[in-house]
Structure formats: C-alpha cells, structure tokens
C-alpha cells in the first residue's frame, strides 16, 4: 500500500497569514487582559478554530453584531477572518471603537477593490459564486449593481442588456472548469462583458493537482472542514475522476472498509487544513494495512 500526496495541498498563504496575525495579537503583552474576538470562523476548519479558542480567542458572529446582540466593548480586539466581511460590519465595528485586525486574504481584498472600481467606471457586476458563502456575501456588500450566479445554468436566466457594460468577477475558490464554460458562453454571445478571472492561485494549483492524482490512485481522501468551500471543490473534482473519493474532517472519520483491495491511496487537503491533521490521518491509514 502506497500513500501519495497531491503535489499541492493544505494551508495556503491566506490562511497561514490569518493564523499568524492571531498569534502575534495573542502574544503581544499589550493585549493581555483584553478581550480578543475572531469574527466568525477565522478559517473553515473546526480544528484550527478550536485550538484558537483554547488559546483564549472568543468568537463573535456577524448576525450577533448586526442584531446588536454581541458583547463587544470599546478597545476590545476583533480579528476579521481570511475570507473577509461586509461593509456594514466594518462600519459597526468602527462605531464601537474596537481595534480591528484585518486578516482578509489579499486575493479577497483585491476582488472587493476591483468590484468597487469597475462599478465606478459604469459596469454592472456579474458575480459567479455561492451567494451564501461569507466571502461572497462580504465582497458583494461593497457593490450596488451585483447579480450573483452560482453556475452557468443560473447565468443563462439573467437578462444581459447588450446596451450596458458588465464585468464578471468570481469567488476565489471557484472551480476553474466551471468558469471556462461560463467564459465560453459569454464570449460567444456578448461583446459587452469584461471577464476578470479571480480564482486564487492557491485554489487553482490544488484543483489541478487533485485531478492529476485522482486519475492515478485507487482511492482518494480529501481532508478538510465541512464548511470549507475549497475542500468541497477538491472533493467534487476528485469524484469526477475517481468514484472512490471520500471527504473527511479528521482521523475519526476514516472507515476501514474503504481500504479493502486498495493499493494506491491519494491524499489531498483543503487550504485551511493543518498539516498535523494530515499526518495523523496518514499514520492511521498505515496502521490499517
């Protein structure tokens, strides 16, 4: 039995950067005795979040802030998660005079800025992504004329006015192949849509690597949080090429039955999955055989 890791997997620099900010904040002596909050899940991985809570971080949810049900006080610290938040939340936090540490990934910030700039130039925005995902909710909150579509099917229902200018932007973790279909539809039917591909590099290389690996192994294990969008995409891509694909959060989710008759086991992990979880899983798999 052989375990083969995907060429690119695990922590991306956006997640690593967010965790780094948290560590700097908690280790700073000036912050002793201050309440330190993280807005929502810093990254979409329960293990990472739990570890931060054990270090003393508290979680505050966006809904609590919006409904005035939070316990934030002046001079508390609030760290904004890697996938950002909405304009309204930033406004409220400033009003409350808390100290904000913005751990929003540069890729997400860049999309947000592009959206605002393109609207100023007169473009309506077509945004491809999951409208329920915090990243998408946060980015589009900075716009005024934004239509969000999850996929080509939804985009086909949008009435695109040939007399207007449109700009197409995407969620950072969008599946590259999904975008290619959308691009080809728009390029073949409309001259007035400017397409700006905003899938982040870390997502893209992880998606390509899992496709390559899924084709050459007997089974593939995707490790990541249940709410992680990029992990789910890795699972979807692998499933397309290898029916023996399983998504697990940690070693407790492994099922010995999956491994019967399997020789080559592929492994990948979402961008917010810590290396220590991957190692525990690899060790457990070695124990099965």
Residues tagged active-site: 135
State in angstroms the smallest separation of the CB of 174 from ligand SF4: 11
Rounded CA gap, 168 and 75, in Å?
39
Q: Is residue 41 part of the contact set for ligand SF4 (CB under 6 A)?
A: no
CA distance 106 to 112: 10
Q: How far is the CB of 288 from ligand SF4 (least distance, A)?
A: 31
Interface with ligand SF4, residue 249, by CB under 6 A: no
Name the nearest CA neighbour of 40 among 93, 68, 78, 74. 78
Among 9, 10, 14, 249, binds ligand SF4 (CB under 6 A): 14
Candidates 232, 240, 233; CA nearest to 214 is: 240
Question: Which residue, 208 or 218, is less far from ligand SF4 as judged by CB?
Answer: 208
**Separation between Cα atoms, residue 79 and residue 239, nearest integer Å:** 35
The reply on whether position 107 binds ligand SF4 by CB under 6 A is: yes
In the complex with ligand SF4, the residue whose CB is nearer, 12 or 60, is: 12
Q: What is the 3-state secondary structure (H, E, C) of 25-80?
A: HHHCHHHCCCCEEEECCCCCCHHHHHHHHHCCCEEECHHHHHCCCCCCCCCCEEEE
Per CB under 6 A, the list member of 230, 244, 249, 273 interacting with ligand SF4 is: 230
Binding ligand SF4 by CB under 6 A: which of 9, 105, 155, 167? Answer: 105
| Rounded Cα gap, residues 26 and 4, in angstroms | 36
Binder of ligand SF4 out of 85, 172, 231, 242 (CB under 6 A): 172
Please identify, among the stretches 21-29, 52-60, 104-112, 255-263, the one whose residues bind ligand SF4 according to the rule CB under 6 A.
104-112
What is the bridge-based pairing of β-strands 99-102 and 219-223? unpaired
- Least distance to ligand SF4, CB of residue 74, Å: 30
Binding mask 112-151 for ligand SF4 (x = CB under 6 A): ----------------------------------------
Q: Verify binding: residue 85, ligand SF4, rule CB under 6 A.
A: no
Q: Which is nearer to ligand SF4, 98 or 271 (CB)?
A: 271
- Retrieve residue 151's tokens: 């996929």
For 181-184, which contacts have Cβ atoms below 8 Å and span 24 or more sequence positions? Answer: 181/152, 182/128, 182/151, 182/152, 182/155
Contact by Cβ (8 Å): 53, 41: no
Q: Is 52 in the site for ligand SF4 (CB under 6 A)?
A: no
**For ligand SF4, which residue of 155, 214, 271, 277 counts as binding (CB under 6 A)?**
271
The residue ranges that bind ligand SF4 (CB under 6 A) are 12-15, 82, 105, 107-108, 172-173, 200, 202-203, 230, 271
């Amino acid at each position: 039995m052989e375990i083969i890791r995907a060429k690119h997997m695990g922590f991306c620099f956006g997640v690593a950067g967010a965790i780094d900010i948290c560590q700097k904040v908690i280790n700073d002596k000036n912050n002793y005795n201050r309440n330190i909050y993280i807005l929502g899940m810093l990254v979409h991985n329960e293990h990472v979040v739990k570890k931060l809570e054990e270090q003393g971080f508290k979680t505050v949810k966006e809904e609590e802030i919006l409904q005035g049900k939070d316990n934030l006080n002046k001079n508390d610290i609030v760290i904004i998660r890697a996938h950002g938040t909405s304009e309204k939340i930033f406004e409220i936090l400033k009003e409350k005079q808390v100290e904000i540490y913005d751990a929003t990934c540069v890729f997400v910030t860049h999309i947000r800025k592009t959206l605002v700039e393109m609207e100023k130039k007169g473009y309506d925005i077509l945004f491809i992504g999951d409208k329920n995902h915090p990243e998408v909710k946060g980015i589009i909150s900075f716009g005024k004329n934004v239509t969000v579509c999850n996929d080509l099917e939804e985009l086909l229902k949008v009435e695109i006015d040939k007399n207007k200018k449109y700009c197409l932007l995407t969620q950072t973790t969008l599946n590259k192949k999904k975008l290619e279909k959308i691009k080809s539809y728009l390029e073949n039917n409309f001259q007035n849509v400017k397409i700006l591909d905003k899938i982040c590099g870390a997502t893209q290389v992880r998606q390509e690597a899992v496709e390559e690996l899924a084709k050459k192994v007997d089974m593939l294990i995707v490790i990541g949080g249940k709410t992680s969008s990029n992990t789910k995409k890795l699972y979807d891509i692998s499933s397309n090429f290898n029916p023996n694909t399983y998504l697990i959060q940690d070693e407790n989710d492994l099922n010995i039955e999956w491994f019967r008759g399997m020789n080559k086991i592929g492994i990948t992990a979402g961008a917010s999955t810590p290396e220590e979880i991957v190692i525990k899983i690899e060790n457990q798999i070695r124990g099965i055989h």
